[in-house]
Every structure is written in C-alpha cells, then in structure tokens.
Structure 1
Amino acid sequence: MKITKYFFYSFLSFMIISCEPKQEVLVVEVFETSANGNNLTKLENFSSDENQENTIQIKLLPEQKRQKITGFGGSFTESSAYLLNNISKKNRDSIIEAYFGESGAKYSLTRTHMNSCDFSLSQYSYAPVKDDKELVHFSVDEDKDDIIPFIKDAMKVSKDGFKILASPWTASPWMKDNKSWLGGKLLPEYYDTWALFFSKYVSAYNAEGIDIWGVTVENEPLGNDKNWESMHYTPDEMTNFVQHHLGPKLEADYPKVKILGYDQNREHLDEWVDSMYKNEETSKYFDGTAIHWYASTYDYFPEQLQYAHNKAPNKYLIQSEACVDSEVPKWKDDAWYWKKEATDWGWDWAPEKDKYLHPKYAPVNRYARDIIGCLNNYVDGWIDWNMVLDTQGGPNWFKNWCVAPVIVDPIKDEVYFTPIYYTLSHFSRFIRPEASIISLENSDKELMVTAAKNTDGSIAVVVFNEGEKAKNINLILDQKSINIAIQGQAIQTIVIAN
C-alpha cells in the first residue's frame, strides 16, 4: 500500500511540474558599441549560457511609466556649419544623413545659439545698432551662409522632424551695464527690448521656413569667468525677466514657443528651481529647466535632478549642453575614447574642494553614464554640443578646444565618426520622442541600465558595462526571458519589437 501511495504522489508531482508553463524566449535585436571595435553593430550571436553563475536579472516593468521623452540630439553651431561648408558635398551629406537620416542617429531634439558664442568664428549680434530699442535693424543675415543651410539640409533628410531649442550667450553689448560681450548684466531699461529680441528671432527663423520649438533664457547665467560671450543673472533676476517681460511677450507673439530657465550646471539646480517655481505667478511662463553636465566628469547629480522633478513634475527637464571640453580630439584613435585619459576644465581650474569631481575619465563612459543616469532621474531630453569639429577641436574664436562626436579634416576632406557618435546613437536612434521611461529591477549595481517604451509598443533597453569583465544578463519581460552576454567596456541597446 505504501509503495502504491509513493508512486501515486510521485506521478502527481511529476504532472504538476510538467504542467507548469515554460517561460518563452524573448525575441530581441541587440546592437553593441564596445572597446573591442563594435560600433552600433547588430550582433548575430549574443546569447549567454542560461546556467551561467552570477547571471544578472533585469526585469522590465512596462506598466510603471515615468517621464515622456522629448528627444535626443546635438547642436547647430556656426563652427560645425562652417566646417560642413568646407568639405565635399559627399562628406557633408554623409554627416547630415548620419545625424538625421533613417540610416543614422535620427536626432530629434537640437539646439542652436542666438547671436555668437564661443563656437563662432567671430563675435556678432543680430541687433548691432546702438540704442535701437525697437530693433528696427534686427537681422539674422549672419546665419544665412552657415547655420540656416545646415538646419534646412537636416530637415530634408529627417523623416520625423526635430525640435530646435535656441539659446543666447549674451545680449548686444549696448544693452548691458559693462558694454562688453563678456560678463555684465542686462540693463533694466532694455528688458523689453531683449524680450522683443527673442520674438524677432523666432519670426526671422520662421520666415526661413524653420520653426523654433523653444528657447532658454540665457546660456550659463552664472557666467564663465568672462572667457567668452556671457551675461549674468541671479535666479530671481531671471525669474523676474521671464515673469514680467519675456513670458508675456512670447505669449502674445508665439505662445507655442517653450521657455526653459537656468541652463547651467546641476550642482546649483535647487536654488534656481526654487526661484522659478516659487508660486503660480513665477512659474506661469516657465515650461521647464535646462541643465549642463560640466559640474563633474562622472557624477550626474541624481539628488538634484530628483529635486527639480519633484519641484515641478509636469515641466520639462532637459540636458541642453555637454561635451568633452578642454581637449583636442584624438584623430582616428577609437581606443582613446574608451580610456580614462580625458580631462576637463575642472582638472586645472576647479576649486580644491571640488577637484574630486573632475578626475580623468573616458569620454564614452562619461556619455553613457550621464545619459542613463539622467533618464533614470526624470530628465526627458538630452542634447550634445557641437555636432562637428576639426582636428584641433575648433574652429573657435576663443581657442576653447573641445571634442565632438564627428571630427573632420577639411584640408584632406576626411571624416572620423568617433565612438561618442555611436554611443549617442544607442539612445537617439532607438528611444523616440513621446516614449516613456519605464521602471525595471536590476540585480547588479555596477551595471547601468535604462529602458523606454516607444509609442509603437517597442521597448529599447540600454545597458552599459563600464568594467572590463564580461557579464551575463537574464532579461525578463512578463513571462518571456532571454539570456544575453555583454562584454566588458560595452554599450548595448536591446530592442524588443511590439
């Protein structure tokens, strides 16, 4: 009798186990950029051993949606536009296709400068005539040979289109208390004139067939030690200017144009959003906040980003500028972009108490780490700085050399797509506007992961393995899963179709 019972219960247990639904295999495409030479390469063999020890569990939670994505992209500067005018049409077209075309990064959010900036060939203003309060002589002719054609060519190849955010570095010197391109403040008697300037700019670009999606009030209002074009505001001064001058003017003339405040480094973000979003009256005309990454080569300041989001959860939070600064680009040396060799301004100039924030750091790591960190902390848009620079890291009237994702040698008519370009493409190509960042569970604190669900139902998961050791991932979505191997020093975008 006991033997019969044993076999009966054994058979029953077998049937229960056999009837449990097996987890289906998740169908994915995997694209990788890595230190060993992959550049947004579609992997044909990416599976890992499902019995591998220390497999990392990444569970996607698509029903837990966070912020909606505004876009990813780079900036239309005079320097970049000038270089594109000085290379062959073939190479110019290939670069524009690489950034905006269906075969490329598909940039969806961009930035440009109003008046000149450090990445201009010279200093200029659209309103050069002194005491022209009504801006009768306003003109964007300076942009018609370079920036405007660059934007128009990008528009031609962009299937989905892209948004443009415009930022001034300074008002015309005659509007400022120090009468200089560098530093100083806008005189109160010209507040209305400067607000009119923004409206005139939007109108002039509209006349060229270019829509301006939004503006920031001032690039780097804390200043930059009077190195290049700049103008200073305190948080309350900027809030006052927007509340009583710029906001009402754009509401009357171009109510769809967005206004983003601040536009500088994240370590001071709290005091700016406290002023901007103090009450309904101060926040009325601010559509969001713009930030830069230059406070550190590795820290993305999650606490500050969360604070800004919680202060105004329904407003934009957009990273508007980033680059590897204070470096001359390395030409056709992919390995350099993966090594912790690059320095930034803070390596030499940061106060002693902040030096720890500015160690040498790998350019690829800096981009991947910052973008994932931003997306996981409520940032909805991420814009790089110059799209194209030369082998010196210019042209730049101040000789403030920097790195861009695409480097050109106009003399030899050669183009170099750096690993930074492919790193940015991992996000811009696969995470589209109006996608929602979704929550996930990640069992490995060393592996950086973010995920977004696009409007077509597809999900893009971006994984960054900064360490040198390969890792094995078990990616889980509902009742489906797949094991994926990611090598050391690699970025992967895992695409799950609808």
Structure 2
Amino acid sequence: MKTTRNSILVLLTLTIMSCNSEKKENKESKDLNVEVYETSESGNKLTRITEFSKVDSSAVIKILPEQKFQTITGFGGSFTESSAYLLNKLSKKNRDTILQAYFADEGARYSLTRTHIASCDFSLNNYTYAPVADDMEMKNFSIEEDRDDLIPMIKEAQAISKDGFGIIASPWTSPPWMKDNKEYVGGTLLPKYYDAFALYFSKYLEAYKAEGIDIWGLTPVNEPHGNGNNWESMHFTPETETDFVQNHLGPKLEADGYGDVNILGYDQNRAGLGEWVDAMFKDEASSKYFAGTAIHWYESTYDYFPEELQYAHEKAPDKYLIETEGCVDSEVPAWQDDAWYWKKEATDWGYDWREDDKKHLHPKYAPVNRYARDIIGCLNNWVDGWIDWNMVLDRQGGPNWFENWCAAPVIVDPDADEVYFTPLYYTMAHFSKYIRPGAEVIGVENGVKDLMVTAATNPDGSIAVVLFNEGKTPKDFTLSLGEDTVNVKINQQAIQTILIPSKTL
C-alpha cells in the first residue's frame, strides 16, 4: 500500500484528536484529592476516613470558590474563673492535656476566645476590680482576683498556641456603686458614672497588657436585657449603650491608646438583634466606635435566626458579626456517656416556663445537633466568629456561685483527677481546627436533602467543607470542585469536615 503525505497528515490529526479527547476525559473524571474527618453518634471522634463511597450518587454538592462572603475571625471557647479553678485542681499532666487539646496545632487550634471582666455566674463569688465607692479615678483598681486562676490559664494557652488567638472581654456588670440599685445583680448604670466606667475598661486593658495579655475586643456589658435578675447583670437599652460607646467608652479608649481594641455592641440573643443594630449603626457618628455586633444563641435550641443575621449584616456589612456565647445551659452534664450528647434529652432555660407563643422554640434537643446546626447556620448567614462558653466544667456543671449548671466540651472530676472529652469538643474542633482566621466563606450548591453544609477557603489556599447529617441514615453524595469530583459517604448523626489541600487546587 502506498502512503501519501496527505494520509500521514490525516493520521497525525486523528491521533492528536484522540489524545486530546483522552486528556479531556481524564480531566473530567479526575478524583478530587481530599482528607475526610468525621465525628459521629456511632463512635467516630474526629476520625480520619480513608474508605470513600463506591456509590455513583446523583446527589451533588458543588463547591463554588468564586462566590465569596465574609472573612473568618475565628472559633473557640471562653476563659472563665470556673474553668481556670478546675484546671488548677488537676494534675499537671491532665491540665496540660486539656490546654494542648484546645490550643496546640495537634488539637482544636482555638483562635478566638472570650473572658469576663470581674465576676460572672461562672466565678466562685462576686467581685469587682473597683470595690471602693465613688473611686472616679480608679485609684484602687486591681485585677488581683484574677491572678490565682484566670490569668495563669490564659498565659499557658498563649504559650501553647502557635498562631495565637484573640480575646473578647465582657463585664457582666459595672462596679455595683455605679448603678442605681448598688447591687451586683440587675440595675442600670447611672449616667454620672459613664466616664468612670469607661476608665474602668481602660484600666482593665492596661492591667492585662502588663501581664502580657492583649485584649482583641470588648463588649460594653454581657446581656444588656438582663438574665431575670439571677446573677451579675446590668441593663442597657440600645440607645443608652450606643450613647455610652459613642460619647464615653470609644473616645476614652482612643485617647488612652486603645483605639485598635474592637468594641462589639449588644452581646445577647438574636431575636432582639434588629433594634440594636438600628441604634448602633443609625449614622456615621453612632457607628464610629462600634467594630461590630456580638450575639448569643439562647433564644432557641434549633432556630439560628437567619433573617435577623442577614438584617444585621445588611445594616453594617463591613462590621464584625460574632457569636460570643453559647452552651448547653440548665443541665448537669452527662459523665462518660457519649450517647447522651447525640440524643434529644437535653432541655434549656426556656423548656419549662417560656411564654406559650415561644415555648415551641425550646423542645428537647441533642447537644451535638444544636452546636453543629447553629455554627453552620451562622457561617451561611454572615457570622464571622463563633465562641463557645466554658472550656472546662466539673461533673455538676460548675463551679458556679449561683448554681446555674451548664455543660462544657470538657468535663472533669478534680477529686479523681479524671478528664472526659465530650462529643462537643470534637464538634467544635471540626470548625476551629480546619477553618482558620482569614478564611473566606465561599458558595455551596447543596443538592443533598436534609444535609447542612458550609465551606471556606483558608489563607493557605486549602478549602474546608463542613457537613452535618442530623438524620438517622447515612448519605452518599458526590462532592465537586470544578470538574474534579469525589464520592463521599457521611454516617447517620455525624459531622464531617472534608479538607481539600491547596496543592490539588
């Protein structure tokens, strides 16, 4: 057979087309390189999953990195006197184990935390840094009460944390002598003491800085609606708090060299959020000293109030929106019983006595479900930081001077020197360990029914996808990023983090 020049060209063209087609097919069928970690009711505890689903699922979750939303500030828990006191009662080995678990690179890598200014319900007793009445110049100001427990806990965490962490500090009340009722519980700050209370904050920042502890943010008071006058509290209205920050606290911190400390307003439940952001961000003058808004989750055990979160973001799109407190409240925590944290047996403060028209917001619930739902719901509605309450409590859910028992991710028995890492610890770590400060929340197209999902691109280019399956059956799905895919299975009652390393992007 005679071969012509034209036939050779045709053969070469067909060969090249065939190679290009194979390359295109290979690209389209390329497996997405991922690491999968799961915590589940069936026993996984941030366990690395190495066997992927073999089901060619039609249920697809598409990651859309070109859609960018808020920048993450961080995730973490709170330094309380109760937690610090308990750590001091443990052996050095167990104390180190807990702090490493929260702050080391091998642990949860907490990046945003909170603490209380003077006493709160999770203190051993009532105390203030300014005990002398009408000490307008704070000549008797002292943080001595914090030196035995609270300050050492914070400093040890700082020494362990490679990347460091921010601290948001909140007073539960002003010194009692500044209030109309002269008590730790309830009452309002008298206007004649606004400047003295602003100085109180400045003195706190100065004293903690001298200890090597820089405070990232402040709230004017914890829960300005009060707490039913049960433990330390002080009432503000949206207008009076805005006045205090705009005309007293903000200018004082700026004058004293603390203008970079972030003031977050409100600091209570989301159901009342609208009227607060309306007052705080009314105009340029009212907004000037507010860096953002702080929120809690106690208004409901299942509703994360997306409309309120969206409204707060739209009102101040360039400001922080941070969950500063959430916990399993009004419960004595289960000890060495993982199953309890996955069952709908917990009740909260509103379960027994909430008004009839709001009682439906407080059914029995599973603690893990509440955490996972809320954090994912928050991330999908502009919240950029999420802080748990106590890091460590005892088997009673304290110590707490008011006997306001609550649960924490780590429960200890100081008498027996035993430590229990509850499923809540691993739930928090799914976010704090893999979604780092500076990450950007990105778009997700979720084609899987009854599966919650959120995603973020980290500063190193990796993508963390967190999913929660609240259902009683496993789910198979295909995760896609561009043309790359991987088939994944998530167990029933499970939270899962899928990490896409930057080198695969």
TM-score bracket, shorter-length normalisation: over 0.9
Aligned to 2:119: 116
- In structure 2, C-alpha distance between the alignment counterparts of 1:464 and 1:38, rounded to whole Å: 14
Question: Counterparts of 1:359-438 in structure 2 under 5 Å?
Answer: 359-438=363-442
Q: Compute the RMSD of aligned alpha carbons.
A: 1.4
Per the TM alignment, residue 51 of structure 1 is displaced from its structure 2 partner at its CA by 2.7
Residue 258 in 1 paired to residue 265 in 2? no
Per the TM alignment, residue 429 of structure 1 is displaced from its structure 2 partner at its CA by 0.1
Give 2:162's aligned amino acid: K
Per the TM alignment, residue 44 of structure 1 is displaced from its structure 2 partner at its CA by 1.7
Identical-pair percentage = 67
Residue 51 in 1 paired to residue 47 in 2? no
Per the TM alignment, residue 349 of structure 1 is displaced from its structure 2 partner at its CA by 2.5
Residue 27 in 1 paired to residue 30 in 2? no
Per the TM alignment, residue 18 of structure 1 is displaced from its structure 2 partner at its CA by 5.9
Aligned to 1:239: 242
Question: Counterparts of 1:48-447 in structure 2 under 5 Å?
Answer: 48-52=53-57, 55-253=58-256, 254-447=258-451
- In structure 1, C-alpha distance between the alignment counterparts of 2:318 and 2:355, rounded to whole Å: 35
Per the TM alignment, residue 20 of structure 1 is displaced from its structure 2 partner at its CA by 4.5
- In structure 2, C-alpha distance between the alignment counterparts of 1:173 and 1:235, rounded to whole Å: 21
SS of 1:401's equivalent in the other structure is coil
Aligned to 1:3: none
Per the TM alignment, residue 19 of structure 1 is displaced from its structure 2 partner at its CA by 7.0
Q: Deviation digits for residues 267-288 of structure 1, max 9, x if unmatched?
A: 0000000000000010000000
Q: Are the structure 2 counterparts of residues 442 and 133 from structure 1 closer, same or farther at C-alpha, using a change threshold of 3 Å?
A: same
Query: Is the Cα–Cα contact under 8 Å of residues 78 and 388 in structure 2 kept in the other structure?
Result: yes
Find runs of 4+ consecutive structure 1 residues off by over 4 angstroms. Answer: 14-20
Q: Deviation digits for residues 254-279 of structure 1, max 9, x if unmatched?
A: 11100000000000000000000000
Q: Deviation digits for residues 205-230 of structure 1, max 9, x if unmatched?
A: 00000000010111000011100000
Q: Are the structure 2 counterparts of residues 281 and 17 from structure 1 closer, same or farther at C-alpha, using a change threshold of 3 Å?
A: same
Residue in structure 2 matching 1:42, options 48, 53, 75: 48
Give 2:213's aligned amino acid: I
Q: How many residues align?
A: 484
SS of 1:472's equivalent in the other structure is strand
Per the TM alignment, residue 473 of structure 1 is displaced from its structure 2 partner at its CA by 1.4
Unaligned runs of 5+ in 1: 1-10
TM (normalized to structure 1)? 0.96
Per the TM alignment, residue 17 of structure 1 is displaced from its structure 2 partner at its CA by 7.3
Aligned to 2:501: 497
- In structure 1, C-alpha distance between the alignment counterparts of 2:76 and 2:24, rounded to whole Å: 47
Query: Is the Cα–Cα contact under 8 Å of residues 166 and 215 in structure 2 kept in the other structure?
Result: yes
- In structure 2, C-alpha distance between the alignment counterparts of 1:476 and 1:466, rounded to whole Å: 22
SS of 1:352's equivalent in the other structure is coil
Residue in structure 2 matching 1:457, options 461, 478, 481: 461
Unaligned runs of 5+ in 2: 1-13
SS of 1:250's equivalent in the other structure is helix
SS of 1:384's equivalent in the other structure is strand
Per the TM alignment, residue 135 of structure 1 is displaced from its structure 2 partner at its CA by 0.5
